[in-house]
Each structure stands twice: as C-alpha cells, then as structure tokens.
Structure 1
C-alpha cells in the first residue's frame, strides 16, 4: 500500500532531467505500486494496466513515452513537478554530405540533358521550317501512352510500395485527377503547337510567365492571399515578357497565343496538383503513382484531339507516312521522343523526392537559360540585347517568386514545430494511485 499525504509540507526534491537515450523517447517512470495512467481530463486508460499485468517487482520499471523532452523534479514522496518543454536536440547526421550534393548535381545535370534534348527534338521535328511533322497531337499521344504504360507497369510490379492503401473515390477522381490531367495535356500540346510557329528562345521566354498565372489561380482557389510582394513579382515578370515580345522580328500571332495559353494551363495544373497532393488520403504523394493516374487521361484526351485536328487524310501523301518504311521510321521517332519525355519527368520527380520542389524550381530557372543558349548556338535563334534584358528581368522575377515560396515553406515548418511543442506541453501525462481511489 502506498500512502500519500496532501498536507502542505516542505519536502526536499531532487531535480532530475529525463533525456533521450538511443532510440527511446523520454518518459515517466512507474513505481511498482502504480497500476494505471490517467489523462488530464480524468479519462482512465485501462490498456496500460491490462498489457503489463505480468510485471513483477523486479522488472516493473518502464517508461511512458512522451513526445518531447521535459525537465522533471522528482520529490521524495513520489510527486513529479514538470518544467517547461525542451526542444529535441538536432540530429548530427542531418548535415548535408558531399555525396548528397554530388548526387543532386548529377540528377540536375541528367534533368537538364533530357529536357534540352526533348526541346530540340520537338522543335526539329515540328518546326515549320525544319521537320514539319504533320501530326504533333499523334506524337504527344504516343508520348503520354508510353508514360502511362511504363508508370502502370512499375507501380503494379511494386504494388506494395506505390499503390495507395485506400482506393480513390470516383468523385475525387473526376473532380481532382481529371482536371489536372486535362490541364497538363493542354499545357504540353499547346507548347508543342507553338513551336511550329515561333523559335525555342521566344517560346521559352513567354512560357516563363507561368508563375503569373499560377499566382492568379492560387488567389482564385484561395491557396494564396494577395499581397504587395506577390503583386510586385507579377509586375516584374510581366515587364520581362513585354521586353521579350517587343521588337520581335519573327513574331507570329498564333505561336504567341498558343504559348501563352500553355502558360495559363501550366499555372492551372500546378494549382490543381497542389490541391490534389495536399490530402494524404488520395495516396498520390509518390510521383510514379501520380503519373500512373494522370497520364492515361492525358493520352485519351490527346488521342481524341488528334483524331479531330491532325490531317489524317493527308498522311499518305506525306513523306513521314507514304510507305511502310517511312511509317516504321516515324514510329521509331515518336517512341524515341516518348522515352526522352518519360525519363525527363522521372528525373524531375526524383529530384523533388531527394531535395524539394523549391530546389527544382530554382534549378528550372537556370534550365531555361541553358535551353535558350543551346537554341541560339544550335538552332541559330536570334538573340538581341532587348531579349537579354527581358530574360534577365524574367529570371529575377521567377527567382523572387521561388524565394517567396521558400520563406513561406520555412515559416510553415516553424509554425508546425511550435504547434507540436505546444500540443505536447498541453497533454502532459498524469498518474493516479489505485489504492487511494479504492479508499
């Protein structure tokens, strides 16, 4: 029988601090006479008692796991006075190693390579003054179909790792996945269609307006709140676009319209993607799983557009499809582009998984500059000082946007950590002595 006195008396306490040991969390030790735990609201948890009924006096010492490290003063009469919560020590292994940096740089280089080759492939094959491939929508259908088949095979083979535990509801699929897939398909198709009329340099600069439309859709979907900082970023990027467009010698109206519509669709799809990935219940946080859901819809939609818009009646008169050998060669060209597209997207997803989306977007700014330089030297695109000023202004605006997202991300993590500490502090465990309750 353990007896406790509730009279006010001075008792000398020995201050001790519970610390983390190895992989065990800090906790409260239970004396052999304590048989049950109770929360602050008075709820008694019997499971602790039932699980540990076989504990003897010799091995009855155990720890109640706590979420944070706390200082506690254990008095002689068994009372515990808990102090303020302490922050958990940082893991010494969290520092970035040279291997991680080299691995990240390697994947960025691979991403740049696939992306640049895919851009040059599209321009060379689709350009009105180059390959003049007659069926750009058919080509994209093959690309999306390859991505759908490969992602489905990978997620099926490793179903225990990729497939979500809870199947997505039909409503969520049609209201979340389908709009995301539609906007992604339109983004890619319109971008490729613009390359028929305009240069890679001009298309890349105009496509840099995507953050403007991303922010506008974020305002509409209440993912972001309008602020002077964001409006300033929109203004900077807009000025860069105006500098790029002004005095464009090879300006083509429809090419400009297509690439700007592609930028609109890109902003919309990234907002939809954020909405789709915010809820873990969807089970699409893995990039390959996400790809396996959206690419089949993209392939079907693009195939329908190809049947409606591609000049199928003229294929037999075109050098790409006027013989069996030319048809086989065209199929090989489309499969080659699909392979480039799949590995570019996969590399981008790997980069996001090993670093962060912010790192990828910042690297994307540099990628645009690399693409323009390659287009200037390989395709001999015209690059004036006014375009250079516009490109520099756009890169400054996009960099400011990425910096804004980075600061917001860091602020969100800090608020989550503070909330977790406060939640843990407000849920301190209490114990009761059963012998006193029976009296």
Structure 2
C-alpha cells in the first residue's frame, strides 16, 4: 500500500510540472501574438532546441559536448539575426515568446521522461493525456484570469451579440480541438521515437507557418530574417544529424534496420541514470 502511494506521489510530482510547462508554453505563445507578428514569434520560438538541449543536460538525457555547445551557438546566432533591426519589436512580446521557448524545451524533456521511464508507467500517450490535460486546463484558467482583460468582456467585439458569441465559441472549439489533437500526436510521436523527431517536424511546421503568415497576413519578411531563419534550421539539422550519428555508433553493426527513422528506437534520448544502473547490473 505504501509503495503504491509513493508511486502515485512520484507520478504527481512529475505530471504537474509537465502540465504547467505545457500550459505556459501554449498560453505565452498566444499572448506574444498580441504584441508581435506570427512570423517574428515563430522565428523566436525556433530557439526552443537550445532550451531542449539545456534541460536535456540537466535531466541527464544528454551529455554536454563541444559539438552540442557549437550547435547551441549556431541556433542562438540565428535567433539574434531574426531579432536584429526588427521594426515592430515589442519588448513584452519578445519576452513572452522566449519564455514560451524555455517552457517548450522543459516540457518536451519532462514528456520524454514520463513516456519512456519505466518507473512512471505512462507508456500510453492517451493515458498521459488523461493525467496532464486536467491540470493543463486549471493552469490555463489561472493564466487567463491573470493575463486576459476580463473587464472588457461585455464590450468585446467577439461577444457583443448572440451571433458573435456563437461564432467565437465555434472558433474556440475548433482551435481547442486542433490543439488537443496536436499535443496528442506529439505525445504519440515521442513515445515511438523521441523529442528529436518532434524537433524535426517542428522545423517544417515553423517554415510552413512563416510562409502562410507572409502570404496571408502580409507579415514583413526581410533578407536578414531569412538568413536568421536559415541559420536556425541549419543548427537544428546539425543537432538532429549529431543524434543520428550517435545512435548509429551505439547500435550493433549487424543491426542496420535498427537505425531506420521508422524503427521504434530511432534517435531516442538515452536516460543516463537508467544506463548507469544497467551498467552496474552487468
């Protein structure tokens, strides 16, 4: 009985930070769009692999190395290029989106641990969602009460008539459903591969987001921003290549199929604490 109670408390202390980190990531990203453009926010959010690496170091998911520090420098330089000479720079928008990038790195590392560490018993992404989502909703409600201008609710153009209320509720339902399935898909992807794979998909998503924002919302896109974005993508690609090469070295030479991107062990982070434990057993 005591062992079961201890396991539940351990799980709670792991799930709560993950839920809060996810809520902060999503809500701070949305809040930043009040101040800055979608293009600028997406470029700044591309810095999340930096914080993914730093938290991976802290949680012993990754060993620090000169190569990884060089990759962090490349991505950081790319972010600086995207921020330089930004004509629509807003301090709070920049702060919010960078905090969201920090929370993104934190929550992906925590999600990796929850889905792949045996002690938590949360290998099923839907089970993890059932734990994380209610706490995420509470955290989002608290953030909304703190950050949103509720005093302007009755005079807001989105809720000033029955038709506007219905339309806004439908839009929120669609957006919420898309966000739910996006997070669930990311969890399924992490359970099968790793946070690295999510980062690869994230680069493609960010590129598509920027293209849509430029052509649909007519966001300003300068040559300097393009160079910065390209630099960020080069840094992320180098990080993914580093992980892939490291995985190939750690696998037996006669097991070539194991390095396939679709295999279950592709480019996973190795939890170093568990690796040390296994070494001690042998």
After TM superposition, the score normalised by the length of structure 1 is 0.53
**Higher-helix-fraction structure:** 2
Alignment check: 8 A CA contact 2:82 2:229 kept: yes
Residue in structure 1 matched with residue 59 of structure 2 by the alignment: 221
Residue in structure 1 matched with residue 226 of structure 2 by the alignment: 388
**C-alpha displacement of 1:358:** 4.1
Computing the radius of gyration from Cα coordinates, the structure with the larger value is 1
Alignment check: 8 A CA contact 1:168 1:282 kept: no
Q: 1:202 to 1:316 in 2, by over 3 A?
A: same
Residue in structure 1 matched with residue 124 of structure 2 by the alignment: 286
Residue in structure 1 matched with residue 81 of structure 2 by the alignment: 243
Q: 1:352 to 1:304 in 2, by over 3 A?
A: closer
Alignment check: 8 A CA contact 2:112 2:191 kept: no
Residue in structure 2 matched with residue 260 of structure 1 by the alignment: 98
Residue in structure 1 matched with residue 25 of structure 2 by the alignment: 187
Note the aligned Cα RMSD (angstroms): 2.5
Corresponding residue to 2:168 among 301, 313, 330: 330
**C-alpha displacement of 1:372:** 0.9
**C-alpha displacement of 1:167:** 8.9
- Which stretches in structure 1 are left out of the alignment for 5+ residues? 1-165, 418-422, 424-439
Alignment check: 8 A CA contact 2:75 2:236 kept: yes
The aligned length equals 253
SS of aligned partner of 1:190 = helix
Residue in structure 1 matched with residue 275 of structure 2 by the alignment: none
**C-alpha displacement of 1:297:** 0.4
- Which stretches in structure 2 are left out of the alignment for 5+ residues? 256-277
Q: 1:337 to 1:206 in 2, by over 3 A?
A: same
Distance in 2, matches of 1:189 and 1:330, equals 18
Higher relative contact order (CA 8 A, sep 6+): 2
Q: 1:294 to 1:403 in 2, by over 3 A?
A: same
Distance in 1, matches of 2:224 and 2:245, equals 32
After TM superposition, the score normalised by the length of structure 2 is 0.81
Alignment check: 8 A CA contact 1:244 1:387 kept: yes
- For the pair 1:344 / 2:182, whether they are aligned, the reply is yes
Distance in 2, matches of 1:192 and 1:251, equals 16
- For the pair 1:372 / 2:210, whether they are aligned, the reply is yes
**C-alpha displacement of 1:351:** 4.8
**Higher-strand-fraction structure:** 1
Distance in 2, matches of 1:228 and 1:245, equals 26
For each residue in 1:232-283, what CA deviation from the matched residue of structure 2 results, as whole angstroms up to 9, or x when unmatched?
0011001101111111111111111100000111111122222323322422
Q: 1:222 to 1:248 in 2, by over 3 A?
A: same
Distance in 2, matches of 1:308 and 1:240, equals 33
The correspondence of residues 191-202 of structure 1 with structure 2, limited to 5 A, is: 191-202=29-40
